[in-house]
Structure 1
Amino acid sequence: MTTHPPFSTITLGAITFRDRNLPSVLSAARNAGFESVGITVGQCIAALERGIAFEEIAAAIRDAGLRVGELELIRLGDGGPARHANALVVELASILQPDRVHVAAWGAEAAAVGDEFASVCAQLAPLPVAYEFMPYNSIPSFTRALELVESTAAPNAKIVLDILHFFRSGSAFEELTADALSHVAVVQLSDVIQREVTPSLVEEARHRRTYPGAGDLNSLGFLQAIAVAAEEPVPLSIEPISDALELLPLMLVAEEAMLSTQRLLKRALKEFEATADQVS
């Protein structure tokens, strides 16, 4: 068991605020204490339509005292109009200098996904390129994502480990080994509240999330398992994607996202430190 701090930077996730303007997001993130923000290609296109050049977006982020934690999304295996957005993400990566670029695939065969993932990794190297597995996309589990990364054999091929997708895909804490976590670029945190009428996995993931630790997922056990196994500090991204939260003031949501994360981490680290003391 390692004794380093198990978690590092905290990013305000890219699609927490899907329809908010970028200046407001940056202000809320900074005031809530986030170190970095996620940016989507859609936000950048919307800014461009308002006459804001990509270089100006980069400058605004720097002026806010933030950096880009994650840039998304490249859609693998999609030969339609998405290829234009994909090319734009690659261009934006050189301008925004994110910590990582996120990719995913829907409806494509795993072999085709692997080939294109390897190509994107080579194109963006050495920038980490992280695949986000989901139980309803082409790579539906953490185990399958690990197989994808290992088959790619690119040093910058990584995984987005989303807590909701981890649990909904039937993954187990035993999978969170030191070797597996060495391939994880970021852990995304949120939560969900169980309802009598269970929504579809897509509906739940895209519209029904809440703050980390505020729902019914075993968030504490998840973070403790990572803390025990990780040999290097793992970055966090907070993404409580919710139609309901989007109706609230942006500043309020950003502040509660940070506070709920800090409360959850405090509980997880207390247990981690107690275990480390016993080991030593």
Structure 2
Amino acid sequence: MQGLNEMNGKDTNLLAAFWTIAGDTHPNDSEWISPDSLQMRAEAASKAGWKGIGLSLDDCRYSVQKYGPPGVQHILTDNGLEFFELEILMDWYTTDGRREASDRARREFLEFGSELGMCNLKVGVSHLDLTPTNHNQMADEFAKLCEDFGTINATVGLEFMPFCKVASLADALPIVRGANQENGGLIIDIWHVVRSGTTYEDVAAVPANLIKGIELNDANASAIGTLMNDSTYHRKACGEGEFNCPSFINAAKKAGFHQNYWGVEILSDFLRKAPVDVRAKHVFDTTIAQFNPV
């Protein structure tokens, strides 16, 4: 029988992914840096109830330059933010000129992750990559990536996205299975699940060891404009759209999802313009309510 705390969500740890509380910045910007300081975001997140936070590489670099690694660590720990993610590494599997920049970012992710106690690195596939998908080659490269980040005790989560060539759960599973690394697996975002035509039943069937992160959000039943447009402008807080977040959460639990926190990633114009304390509290409150729906 469930305990009272579990039923009312009090034992559920939530992590605010970078875009969720980043404010007035956008994926099309040349650098992904929040106009609100890390100190402001961490304090707002803590006050709202969050137990973790995510940063982009640009934002992490900026914060480290501003506060120093010990300063960033203090900001996180002083605000009770136990869990820390970085995102997002692209082109990690490429063999052409893109790889040089990717490897530079990889080294920075490793350095910052080691200094700051990162628990997970999010990786993806660029929507600009139109080359044929070679699952075996990607699996080999993903395995090497996992080995690198295993040295700092971090997991590596591959996020499938319906606007790229690793578009669905079915596309991503062969890569993480082929890599066969204990610290490597999938980030399963509800928006990517719904928009890729993946079902919640498909999610429930994923082996628990292959799920390194779950991300929650909501949206309309149908995309507004292109998938990229819908993803970056029109996500909603949980319970304010038509995705049925409790059913998705139950599917993840049925799969045996057992990581220490649930991620929340929302990109929307409302959150970009709202004050940091408003966006932190609104998204936390609407998300935690999904774990004990009325």
TM above 0.5, one fold?
yes
SS in structure 2 opposite 1:73? Answer: strand
Partner of residue 160 from structure 1, selected from 167, 182, 187: 187
Partner of residue 213 from structure 1, selected from 235, 239, 262: 239
Mapped contact 1:105–1:139 kept (Cα < 8 A): yes
Counterpart Cα distance in 2 of 1:147 and 1:243: 35
Cα gap change, 1:172 to 1:234, in 2 (>3 Å):
farther
Cα gap change, 1:96 to 1:256, in 2 (>3 Å):
same
SS in structure 2 opposite 1:262? Answer: helix
Q: What corresponds to 1:122 in structure 2? A: 147
Q: What corresponds to 1:35 in structure 2? A: 51
Counterpart Cα distance in 1 of 2:288 and 2:204: 24
SS in structure 2 opposite 1:171? Answer: coil
Mapping 1:111-190, distance limit 5 Å: 111=135, 112-125=137-150, 126-177=153-204, 179-190=206-217
Counterpart Cα distance in 2 of 1:54 and 1:45: 10
What one-letter code is carried by the residue in structure 2 that aligns with 1:121?
C
> How far is 1:83 from its partner?
3.0
What one-letter code is carried by the residue in structure 1 that aligns with 2:58?
G
Q: Deviations over 1:19-47 (max 9, x none)?
A: 23211110110000111111221112222
Counterpart Cα distance in 1 of 2:64 and 2:209: 36
Mapped contact 1:110–1:138 kept (Cα < 8 A): no
> How far is 1:130 from its partner?
0.6
Counterpart Cα distance in 2 of 1:132 and 1:46: 25
Q: Identity, % of aligned pairs?
A: 22
Cα gap change, 1:28 to 1:150, in 2 (>3 Å):
same
> How far is 1:143 from its partner?
2.1
- Please tell me whether residue 191 in structure 1 is matched to residue 195 in structure 2: no
Counterpart Cα distance in 1 of 2:109 and 2:190: 25
Q: Deviations over 1:180-205 (max 9, x none)?
A: 3331111101111357x822111111
> How far is 1:175 from its partner?
1.2
Q: What corresponds to 1:278 in structure 2? A: none
Partner of residue 110 from structure 2, selected from 86, 90, 95: 90
Mapped contact 1:146–1:180 kept (Cα < 8 A): no
- Please tell me whether residue 110 in structure 1 is matched to residue 110 in structure 2: no
SS in structure 2 opposite 1:15? Answer: helix
Counterpart Cα distance in 1 of 2:286 and 2:265: 12
> How far is 1:233 from its partner?
5.8
Partner of residue 257 from structure 1, selected from 283, 286, 291: 283
Q: What corresponds to 2:75 in structure 1? A: 60
Mapped contact 1:44–1:54 kept (Cα < 8 A): no
Q: What corresponds to 2:15 in structure 1? A: 11
